[in-house]
Amino acid sequence: MILLDHVTKIYPGDKKPALDDVSLHIEPNEFVFLVGKSGAGKSTLMKMITKEENPDAGKIIIGGIDLDYIKRRHIPHYRRRLGVVFQDFKLLPRRTVYENVAFALEIAGMSTRDIKHTVPKVLELVDLLDQAHKFPSQLSGGQQQRVSIARSVARQPKILIADEPTGNLDKLTRKEIITLLQKINDFGTTVLVTTHDEAIVNNLDKRVVTLKNGRIVADQKTHGIYKLDGDPEDFKPKPKEPRNAQKLRH
Amino acid sequence: MRKNSATKKITRQNLKTLTKNGRTKRLRSTRRVFKYGAVNFGRNIWLSTAATLVMTITLVVLSITLVATVVLGETATAMRDKIDITLFFKPGTGKETLEVLSEVMQNDSNVKSIETRTSEEEYANFLEENKDNSLLIETLEDPTMDMRATMISTMQATMRLKVYDTENLDSIKNIVASDINFVKNLDETEEPTYNVNQSEIATITRWSKIATTGGIVLSVVFIVISVLVIFNTIRMATFSRREEIYMMKLVGADSFFIRGPFIVEAQLSGVVSGIFASIISYFGFRFLEPRLLRYGINVSTISDILDSNKLILVILAIILVGVLIGTISARLAVQKYLRNAAK
């Protein structure tokens, strides 16, 4: 579904590459965490996928489309196939929750009747149907992020990429958002989430790809423990807990 | 290499499906662009008011310039038409002689028209002009007094000339002074009237020229100011909404969908300004009309337009200019952020 083949990106004026010979293959329906410290190259990688940036070397193929061959006029069509979620939500402040979600469908040319049918369903999925007529400024951070997720999944994309979706949220809301992303993954969408939140990564049994200084230093397909400041060696299988350990903790 | 060409082929097929499935229906998109433009116009009411105000001033200045140019031009022409050069010939100069003189004068390229009258015709004209003065008419026509013959024998035959260029009469003067037929028949007791109202014509011609050239300059200046102000107003709006533009691009909106509402917003400003400018110009002109007439300024052309169905066309033209200014400004303003946002 997502294939990066020896991708390198050096921003003009920088000596060190933002991405250095990165190769990554994500299968359909996978849920992948992309982790690393600030400046590790996570956002650059996301920008490559959304075609905001082009690699200096290497190849990127997303959903059967080689991004090298995409012309400028094709980019909007390509992006409509992706769901994108941002740390700062990027909602349209002058539009209501309903209008924000409907916007993603309107630009794709969906009829008003279909939009009226789809938007309530999507808002129900993110549990915001009763907030449909509010403006983003009237919502909490968690609710805004759920609107952002609703907007990104309204077109039923095959791929959802979320750049630090929990970065601005409290602990409880973070958990809600990740649960929601898991739910979307269960419907068959490939989900790629960048984060540097150890707790989130360690609580889920998902694939974790670690970037450091623009290189992939670990690709842990089984459940491991991730430490933000740690080296790849820190990804060690979780020791099996004694059966009654949980009971003992309580 | 083979692998590359294979991915290229697959990509092309996928892109074809992608664009085919994702092709937005133009009419539906256009309708939505108009809807969002109108909604934005209302939601950004202060910005819209500022743009509308500047555009209204521009359109009013443009209207004033056009009206002034037409009115002063018409007045100058009317005054020029009223003026003629009159040459006086000895009483009793016959019709044939006047025709010969006309032929000579006709050769001058500055001569627009010639009208001649014999002494009899001048007398008939005199009676016509004074037909309301019954005492005078009765006295003149009294057969016992034989005033008619006396009048005709003393009245000069005349030649009235209308010319194209009232400022350049040298060639005509030259004919009058040197042509043998003119010298022989001219009545020496009365000089030709070359300079009647000449200074007034010069003044009105000068004003007309000032109105035309000054008006054009002023209009261009105001249009440029208007475009710049609206451009900056919209640019500020797009700058404050650059995050929105970025987001729109990332969720797959095309340039038409992003740029469209901004342009519609500016066009709406143009429409509202056009209506305001039309109202201001109409009532402004109606207010000034009697005052202008009092000064002998010819406002008939503009009055006729305002009283006819052409008024609708004038209003539509003013609105169209407003819409054009709005479209150009918005297009220029949005272009920059559209290019930079998300590539």
Tens-place pLDDT, residues B227-237: 787 778 777 77
Separation between Cα atoms, residue A157 and residue A108, nearest integer Å: 12
Q: What is the pLDDT of residues B115-172, one digit of tens each?
A: 899 988 888 888 888 888 888 888 777 777 777 788 888 888 999 888 887 777 888 8
Last residue of a domain, one of B153, B179, B196: B196
Sheet containing strand A57-62, edge to edge, reads A19-26, A2-9, A57-62, A65-66
Structural domain includes residue B271: yes
Interface contact A135, partner B, CB < 8 A: no
Cβ-Cβ contacts under 8 Å, B343 against chain A: 51-53, 75
Structural domain includes residue B255: yes
Average pLDDT in the A93-100 region? Answer: 90
| Same domain flag for B230 and B191 | no
| Same domain flag for B217 and B318 | yes
Three-class DSSP category at A83: strand
* The pLDDT of residue B315 is above 60: yes
Higher pLDDT, B208 or B268: B268
Q: For residue B229, what are the contacts with CB-CB under 8 A and spacing of at least 6?
A: B50, B51, B54
Which of A106, A110, A148, A159 is the mutation pick for testing B, counting most B CBs within 10 A?
A: A106
Q: A166-170, B71-75, B215-219 — which is least confidently predicted?
A: B215-219
| Residue A177 distance to chain B (closest CA, Å) | 20
| Same domain flag for B44 and B160 | no
Separation between Cα atoms, residue B17 and residue B202, nearest integer Å: 74
Task: Please check whether residue A149 is in contact with residue A87, taking contact to mean a CB–CB distance below 8 angstroms.
Answer: no
Specify the CATH number for the domain of residue B118. 3.30.70.3040
Contact A109 B29 (CB under 8 A): yes
Average model confidence (pLDDT) for chain A? 85
Distances (CA, A) of A13 to A10, A34, A52, A120: 8, 26, 18, 47
Contact B250 A50 (CB under 8 A): yes
Average pLDDT in the A65-82 region? Answer: 87
Q: What is the pLDDT of residues B56-67, one digit of tens each?
A: 988 888 888 788
Q: For residue A234, what are the contacts with CB-CB under 8 A and spacing of at least 6?
A: A225, A226, A227
| Same domain flag for B61 and B147 | no
* The pLDDT of residue A234 is above 50: no
Structural domain includes residue B266: yes
Higher pLDDT, B25 or B289: B289
* The pLDDT of residue A247 is above 70: no
Q: Which of B244, B224, B243, B235 is nearest to B325 (CA)?
A: B224
Separation between Cα atoms, residue B157 and residue B94, nearest integer Å: 8
Average pLDDT in the B284-295 region? Answer: 88
What percentage of chain A exceeds 70 in pLDDT?
A: 88
Higher pLDDT, B209 or B39: B39
Contact B7 A61 (CB under 8 A): yes
Looking at residue B299, what DSSP letter applies?
A: -
Q: Which long-range contacts does A230-236 make (Cβ < 8 Å, 24+ apart)?
A: A235/A208, A235/A210
Separation between Cα atoms, residue A52 and residue A141, nearest integer Å: 26
- Residue A228: per-residue pLDDT: 53
**How many whole angstroms from its chain centre is CA B3?**
69
Domain hosting residue B90, numbered range: 84-196
| Residue A242 distance to chain B (closest CA, Å) | 47
| Same domain flag for B95 and B215 | no
Average pLDDT in the A122-142 region? Answer: 92
Last residue of a domain, one of B143, B165, B196: B196
| Same domain flag for B91 and B187 | yes
| Same domain flag for B330 and B216 | yes
**How many whole angstroms from its chain centre is CA B216?**
10
- Residue B312: per-residue pLDDT: 92
Separation between Cα atoms, residue A247 and residue B12, nearest integer Å: 57
Average model confidence (pLDDT) for chain B? 81
* This prediction's pTM: 0.66
Q: For residue B316, what are the contacts with CB-CB under 8 A and spacing of at least 6?
A: none
Structural domain includes residue B31: yes
| Same domain flag for B213 and B303 | yes
| Same domain flag for B103 and B183 | yes
- Residue B211: per-residue pLDDT: 67
Average pLDDT in the B239-257 region? Answer: 83
Structural domain includes residue B5: no
| Same domain flag for B118 and B228 | no
* Both structure tokens of B307: 């009283």
- Residue B54: per-residue pLDDT: 83
Structural domain includes residue B98: yes
| Same domain flag for B220 and B152 | no
Contact A74 B15 (CB under 8 A): yes
Task: Look at chain B and report how many structural domains it folds into.
Answer: 2
Q: What is the pLDDT of residues A188-203, one digit of tens each?
A: 999 999 988 878 888 8
| Same domain flag for B192 and B214 | no
- Name the band, by pLDDT with cuts 50, 70 and 90, for residue A227: low
Last residue of a domain, one of B196, B228, B259: B196
